[in-house]
Amino acid sequence: MAAYQYEPLAQAVVNTLANKGIASGSAEQNNLIMGYLEDATNRQELVEQLVIPVGGNQASSLLGLAKTYNPEIGSFGGYAKGFLAARAIRQLENKMKASFIGSQKIDAPESKEIEAGEQQIEITQPVVERLKLNDKISEDLNKLGEMATIQAEKAITSKNLSDLKK
């Protein structure tokens, strides 16, 4: 298949990510990416996903780029080179997300420690009562009601409306 002839391009993109990270990425992001791609298996899987994805997103591969390629804009190699790095980053994000989500198990020792340390909290009385705010809140609500009534009366009287419209 024609996509395989561009496998060296995919390999070069992955090697650049493995050695330098993302140009616009933070140090933390780049360390995470470079650490993930230190593993030769992870690196090869990403290259394969960029060439012809197996169960992955075809749009993020050379195959997807071939479907959107317009010969009038130039060579496919130049077109692929322009977009392949962004596609590699997308593939990498998806792969890393899946591996991190897969490693977070509820039966992990850390999860059991958190569960063992949980305490049941019983609310015996509402916070408003416990802080003795009932009277203060009622007083404030009454003042707000009075102020709203006064403002409404002023608005109506300033417009010289007849008694029927008031």
Residue 29 backbone phi and psi in degrees, to 5: -60, -45
Structure pTM? Answer: 0.54
Q: Read off the pLDDT band of 63 (50, 70, 90).
A: confident
Spatial distance between the Cα atoms of 131 and 126, rounded to a whole number of angstroms: 9
What pLDDT shows up at residue 105?
A: 45
Spatial distance between the Cα atoms of 47 and 53, rounded to a whole number of angstroms: 9
Q: What is the pLDDT of residues 100-157, one digit of tens each?
A: 554 444 445 554 555 555 555 566 666 666 666 667 666 766 777 778 788 777 777 7
